[in-house]
């Protein structure tokens, strides 16, 4: 065949050739919620290191400003339980990382309805509102990445977490709808499903878990957090951030509508 007449586009598998540039997100804007600590901070740091301009969204102003200053990002202070504040977030993000969340542990028959509602607002309604604002920008640029920090509890249930499990399952459904609607516009949407991550959210659960399960606080790590995992350690936030970055690389462009367990083998049971 005359090579001059061969189409000059890469064939299947060609995107996997060669190393990924360390600044492969240069020129992109990423919006990360709950970005002042834990997984959110690790994602903000990772995306900034990859060249993206990062909107550091958090309700704690001082912490958001500290992270933004450290990475050269933009602090955006917002309470995601307030619809008006969510609707005022930047709409020009090419990448959205829906990470912000909270937890409450109690038997369902004792679960405070107002707490249940709050968790749905922050972890389901806020991601919906954020994507409703940012998808038109992604569509206009024919490129976008939505990374939803779900949980193993988006795939499995645990006792005493009715609001959190409900919210994570809902986020899984929202992610899949975005994957279907966004595919024609160069937008992918996926969930990451970590088990217990070494974050303030997990650390704050220890006393509540001990009380709910009737065990000493010192036994919560082994008997609750790691009881169903094959790998007996907490996940580090940077491990989740690295997976989020991988989902934004061009070589991952065919992966959408997926839920990726980072659970140490929990869902292998």
Query: Which residues carry out catalysis?
Result: 164
Residue that the structure tokens 């279907």 belong to:
180
The tokens describing 87, both together, are 């609707």
CB 175 within 8 A of CB 191: yes
H, E, C per residue of the chain: CCHHHCCCCCCCCHHHCCCCCCCCCCCCEEEEECCCCHHHHHHHHHHHHCCCEEEEEECCHHHHHHHHHHHCCEEEECCCCCHHHHCCCCCCCCEEEECCCCCCCCCHHHCCHHHHHHHHHHHHHHHHHHHHHHHHHHHHHCCEEEEEECCHHHCCCCCCCHHHHHHHHHHHHHHHHHHHHHHHHCEEEEEEEECCECCHHHHCHHHHHHHHHCCCHHHHHHHHHCCCCCCCCCECHHHHHHHHHHHCCHHHCCCCCCEEEECCCHHHC
Helix pair 162-182, 126-141: axis angle to 10 deg: 20
């Amino acid at each position: 065949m005359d090579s001059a007449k061969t189409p000059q586009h890469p064939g299947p598998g060609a995107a996997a050739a060669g190393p990924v540039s360390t600044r492969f997100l240069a020129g992109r804007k990423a919006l990360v919620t709950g970005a002042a600590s834990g997984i959110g901070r690790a994602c903000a740091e990772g995306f900034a290191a990859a060249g993206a301009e990062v909107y550091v969204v958090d309700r704690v102003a001082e912490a958001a400003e500290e992270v933004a200053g450290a990475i050269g990002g933009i602090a955006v202070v917002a309470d995601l339980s307030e619809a008006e504040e969510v609707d005022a977030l930047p709409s020009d993000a090419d990448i959205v990382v829906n990470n912000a969340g909270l937890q409450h542990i109690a038997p369902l028959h004792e679960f405070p309805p107002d707490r249940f509602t709050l968790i749905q607002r922050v972890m389901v309604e806020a991601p919906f509102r954020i994507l409703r604002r940012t998808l038109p920008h992604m569509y206009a640029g024919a490129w976008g990445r939505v990374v939803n920090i779900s949980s193993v509890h988006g795939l499995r249930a645990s006792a005493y977490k009715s609001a959190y499990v409900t919210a994570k399952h809902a986020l899984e459904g929202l992610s899949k709808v975005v994957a279907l609607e966004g595919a024609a516009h160069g937008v992918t949407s996926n969930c990451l499903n970590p088990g217990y991550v070494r974050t303030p959210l997990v650390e704050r659960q220890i006393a509540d878990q001990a009380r709910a399960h009737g065990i000493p606080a010192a036994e919560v790590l082994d008997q609750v957090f790691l009881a169903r995992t094959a790998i007996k350690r907490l996940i580090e936030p940077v491990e989740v951030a690295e997976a989020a970055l991988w989902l934004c690389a061009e070589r991952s462009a065919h992966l959408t509508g997926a839920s990726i367990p980072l659970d140490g083998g929990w869902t292998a049971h």
